């Protein structure tokens, strides 16, 4: 097993983002970021290069969760070059997938999926795709999406699922739970998906920022050492304005 240094270019890094990458064991000099990676037994050059790209991509997804800015790495280079090096494997060694340090909670096998889904949910302009990703994150994290008291506004993660179901399914009439959501929370929007598609999309857009904030708290809970309080049974915020310069979808109450 041999140790490699991986170099890549990441344009536009600010001091905060550089510090977060350094927490992952990277070295940052201007737009050039480098980190070390061990090549595994019988790992081909292509597999190893793909794993290097996945390693830094995972860290950039964590930066997106923490700062709201999604960076891309370019021009990955390996020293020594991966195609011309013999990999020496010790007589006995323990195998484990190499992950960044525990600062990011990478011991949770579902986290890589959630941060990559968050990349899409937080940056897509497609409202339907956003709610598909938000719902997938909730499902992956195992948060409660039940709506027990249907005479009140649904809990935040249940509302994500309800809007996702309203937007995604192809039958004309939603199920009874979604119809109840429209009755309790909108009153003026009929259920027929075909005739009222534009109204359903507008409802999703109006609720989007509030629910994105709720799901962001789920993802960030995995990406920091301190515990973030999650209240699954409370509805998402119902009023307030979005103040983007104070962080990802902050709410002023």
The answer to which of 46-60, 147-161, 190-204, 219-233 has the lowest mean pLDDT is 219-233
The domains located in the chain, with CATH, are 2-84+92-104 (3.30.70), 111-252 (no CATH)
User: How many angstroms separate the CA atoms of 119 and 122, rounded?
Assistant: 6
Task: Give the pLDDT score at 221.
Answer: 83
Residue 77 φ then ψ, to 5°: -130, 145
Residue 110, classed as helix, strand or coil, is coil
Q: Determine contact, residues 169/162, Cβ cutoff 8 Å.
A: no
**What pLDDT, in 10s, does the model give residues 78-94?**
998 876 544 333 333 33
Residues 41, 89: contact at Cβ < 8 Å? yes
- In this structure, the strands spanning 250-252 and 74-79 are unpaired
Specify the pLDDT at position 85. 43
pLDDT beyond 60 at 230: no
Rounded to two decimals, what is the model's pTM?
0.80
Distance CA 156, CA 116 (A): 21
CA angle 169, 172, 177 (to 5 degrees): 65
More confident residue, 157 or 221: 157
Query: How many C-beta atoms surround the C-beta of residue 122 within 10 A?
Result: 21
Cα 189–191–195 angle (5° rounding)?
85
Q: What gap in Å lies between CA 57 and CA 4, rounded to an integer?
A: 17
Q: Is 249 helix (H, G, I), strand (E, B) or coil?
A: coil
| Residue 163, pLDDT score | 98
Supply the pLDDT for residue 227.
54
Report d(CA 253, CA 238) in Å as an integer: 10
Strand, coil or helix: 35:
strand
Phi first, then psi, for residue 245 (nearest 5°) are -75, 0
- Angle at which helices 45-67 and 15-23 cross, to 10°: 130
Helix or strand run (H / E) with residue 252: strand 250-252
């Amino acid at each position: 097993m041999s140790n490699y240094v991986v170099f890549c270019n990441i344009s536009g890094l600010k001091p905060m983002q550089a510090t977060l990458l350094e927490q992952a064991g990277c070295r940052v000099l201007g737009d050039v970021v480098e980190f070390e990676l061990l090549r595994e037994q019988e790992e081909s050059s292509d597999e190893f290069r793909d794993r290097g790209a996945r390693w830094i991509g995972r860290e950039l997804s964590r930066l997106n969760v923490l700062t709201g800015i999604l960076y891309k790495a370019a021009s990955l280079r390996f020293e020594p070059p991966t195609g011309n090096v013999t990999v020496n494997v010790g007589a006995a060694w323990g195998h484990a997938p190499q992950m960044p340090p525990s600062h990011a909670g990478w011991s949770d096998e579902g986290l890589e999926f959630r941060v990559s889904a968050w990349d899409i949910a937080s940056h897509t302009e497609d409202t339907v795709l956003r709610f598909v990703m938000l719902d997938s994150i909730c499902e992956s994290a195992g948060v409660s999406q039940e709506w027990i008291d249907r005479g009140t506004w649904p809990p935040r993660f249940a509302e994500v699922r309800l809007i996702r179901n309203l937007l995604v399914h192809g039958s004309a009439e939603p199920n009874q739970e979604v119809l109840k959501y429209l009755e309790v929370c909108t009153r003026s929007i009929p259920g027929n998906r075909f005739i009222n598609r534009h109204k359903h999309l507008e409802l999703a857009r109006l609720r989007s920022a509030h629910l994105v904030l709720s799901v962001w708290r789920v993802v960030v809970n995995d990406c920091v050492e301190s515990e973030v309080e999650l209240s699954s049974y409370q509805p998402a915020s119902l009023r307030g304005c979005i103040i983007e310069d104070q962080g990802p979808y902050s709410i002023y109450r």
